[in-house]
Amino acid sequence: MSIGSGIATNSLVLIAFGLDSLIELASAAVLLWRLTVELRQSQVLAERAEKTASRIGGALLFALAAYVVTAAGWRLWIQERTDFSLPGLVVSLLAIPIMYVLSRRKLEVAHHLGSRALRADAVESITCGWLAFVVVAALTAQLVFGAWWLDAVASLAIVWFIVREGKEAWEGHECCDPK
């Protein structure tokens, strides 16, 4: 729904939010694959699957960050305007508490299992929650102020977080080790 609303209103934050949701689904599929390997194969294969799954999660986060930076830069360059989206606002408002609860539970389970792959998946849920918050703030500000650049600038607000967490997942930091 976010991608459709984003396309209809030309909103980068809504498109990014929708793409992050697709990354969530891809990450969940990777996580299921990794857990299946652990159940059916040896510990060595499970550890390799863990590293691969963590890297895939990191790569997905890097891809999202690259898309957001490129699209935001282009939209700022050409001064592209977006329209307000009430459905996008509603979906984003609902996503904030849902992603918070989901990410907390995933992090808790990741800690108990010592799973980097599950932690990377939880981080993607956190990213989705932050993106939802940015979308709500951007759409509200856009409705109130109507500035053409708000959508592109707001979409850049989340990039630092995406890159940091993507790097952590890619490097395969242990689940709950201090940084």
> What is the per-residue pLDDT across 4-27, written as a single tens digit (0 to 9) for each?
888 888 888 888 888 878 877 877
Dist. CA 169–CA 58, nearest whole Å: 5
When pLDDT is cut at 50, 70 and 90, the band that residue 69 belongs to is very high
Domains annotated on the chain, with CATH: 2-170 (1.20.1510.10)
Average pLDDT over residues 148-161: 85
CB–CB of 10/121 below 8 Å?
A: no
Provide the pLDDT for residue 177: 47
Q: Which whole number is the average pLDDT over 85-109? A: 93
According to DSSP, residue 41 is labeled S
Residue 173: which pLDDT band, with cuts at 50, 70 and 90? low
Average pLDDT in the 83-102 region? Answer: 92
